[in-house]
Structure 1
Amino acid sequence: QCFPQVERGSYFPGDAYAIYKNKFNVGSLIELELEFRTSELNGVLLSVSEPQGYPALSLELQNGKVVMNGDMGDRRPFQVVQGFATEYTACDNRWHRIQVTYIKDELTLKVDNLEQSYWLSDNGHLTQASTNSPLYIGGLPEHAPIGTLESRENFRGCIRNVIINGEWRDW
């Protein structure tokens, strides 16, 4: 089959994943951006978790919403959700841009041109996630801990323009 238009990015068929970095430390600051397009309601976009399941940070599509989950290591998970007009808005097979910033005790999530959603820590003492595990994009292997993910369902669609802490990857 020939494709009339070729675009940058990586296709994830639903049974694959990429490793952004084998030993990734979330720390007290993470800035990430990525673009995705899919026709599916669910799928893992990004995940890092220590073997015991925490600290962990994850980004996924969940019933048509973009959901960011985290646990800084105190087993007090947090969640930021970006909903849309309908559950099918994010799975319209068009490009959508996600921007996430985590600084010490605040997490912000912005999708496309919508107003940003945020979470502010109330624990007052834990302001970083010390991770030293693989950062997976598009899914994760069976042996990897689920961490803060709601589902193990790998992403099906395209991901491009992945920028984490100023470092750009586009496979």
Structure 2
Amino acid sequence: MRFLVVTSALLCLGYGFLLDGSTNSFAQFRKWGGGTNGSLEFEFKTDQPNGLLLYTDDGGTYDFFEIKLVEGALRLRYNLGGGAQIITVGRELNDGHWHKVHVQRHEDRTVLTVDGVSQMRTSRGKEFNFGRFNTNSDVFVGGMPTWYNTKLTLLALPSVIFEPRFVGAVRNLIYPDVEGGTPRRQETRPKDHRVALWVNLVAVVEGLRLLSLPPTWFELDLQKQSRHMVIDDFK
């Protein structure tokens, strides 16, 4: 028998994390250095057909990138100032297996690749830089912070706040976090080193949940304890 601590918001496992889709379920990361030639990639698995996987924008003007599951297909919706574009790739991606997503930009061209299958769109306009790095938002995975509910003007795509939250696992989020930088694996970016987590302790034998104890409130010092949140190899 092995014991696993499961949070109702986010649980870090190796280079990945779990999201349960609750009201405060999301992960926040450093800004994406998308520029004009940036890349972004990650892997996910879920059994839910709909959910917001990733969102970032220019701080509330025009430019945004939104990646979500829609009826089991992966949809990238983005705008670089010349109008929204949509790319849809894949089907039945809510099969509980890992799927790899890669977004590659090159000037006016944006390519979405899912499990080796690619689609490309060309943006209209004359200027294709993704916002301005200093004023762009962070990268949000799995959902949006609830404080955006009262500050919709800070979103280039206000409707993102109404998207269903992602339920599942995400790992290996890789992108440049400075303009013109080299892509690197990202780590969550909490606003404070001390965060409160609502947890359940469950006993797991061969993947079967045998018991669930009442939730326990506790504070975890991420700065000191983050290494201990790695429970297994997250296969």
With normalisation by structure 1, the TM-score equals 0.82
Task: Spell out, residue by residue over 1:40-98, the C-alpha distance to the aligned partner (whole angstroms, 9 max, x if none).
Answer: 01111110124435211111111111011111134x111111032xxxx2001111111
Runs of 5+ consecutive residues of structure 2 not aligned to the other structure: 5-12, 149-154, 177-182, 189-235
Verify: 1:109 aligned to 2:112, yes or no.
Answer: yes
1:118 counterpart residue number = 120
Q: Could you tell me the percent identity over the aligned residues? A: 24
CA contact (8 A) 2:62 2:156 kept: no
Aligned residues: 161
Taking structure 1 as reference, are residues 108 and 150 closer, same or farther at Cα in structure 2, changes over 3 Å only? farther
CA–CA distance in 2 between the matches of 1:143 and 1:71?
23
CA–CA distance in 1 between the matches of 2:81 and 2:2?
48
Identify the range of structure 1 (8-17 vs 139-148) with the bigger mean alpha-carbon deviation.
Answer: 139-148
Verify: 1:152 aligned to 2:171, yes or no.
Answer: no
For the aligned residue pairs, the C-alpha RMSD in angstroms reads 2.4
Verify: 1:128 aligned to 2:129, yes or no.
Answer: yes
Q: CA shift at 1:152, angstroms? A: 1.7
- Residue 38 of structure 2 aligns to a residue in which SS? strand
Structure possessing the higher radius of gyration over alpha carbons: 2
Taking structure 1 as reference, are residues 101 and 142 closer, same or farther at Cα in structure 2, changes over 3 Å only? same
Verify: 1:11 aligned to 2:18, yes or no.
Answer: yes
Q: Find 2:44's aligned residue among 27, 36, 40.
A: 36
Verify: 1:167 aligned to 2:156, yes or no.
Answer: no
Task: Spell out, residue by residue over 1:83-141, the C-alpha distance to the aligned partner (whole angstroms, 9 max, x if none).
Answer: 32xxxx2001111111110121111111113x311101233x02112142121111111
Q: CA shift at 1:24, angstroms? A: 4.3
Higher relative helix content:
2
CA contact (8 A) 1:48 1:134 kept: yes
Report matched runs for 1:131-142 at 5 Å: 131=132, 132-142=136-146
Verify: 1:45 aligned to 2:48, yes or no.
Answer: no
- Structure possessing the higher relative contact order (Cα contacts under 8 Å, 6 or more residues apart): 1
CA contact (8 A) 1:17 1:136 kept: yes
- Residue 93 of structure 2 aligns to a residue in which SS? coil
- Residue 29 of structure 1 aligns to a residue in which SS? coil
CA contact (8 A) 1:160 1:170 kept: no
Report matched runs for 1:55-134 at 5 Å: 55-74=63-82, 76-84=83-91, 89-113=92-116, 115-123=117-125, 125-131=126-132, 132-134=136-138
Taking structure 1 as reference, are residues 162 and 168 closer, same or farther at Cα in structure 2, changes over 3 Å only? same
CA–CA distance in 1 between the matches of 2:129 and 2:156?
19
CA–CA distance in 2 between the matches of 1:146 and 1:152?
14
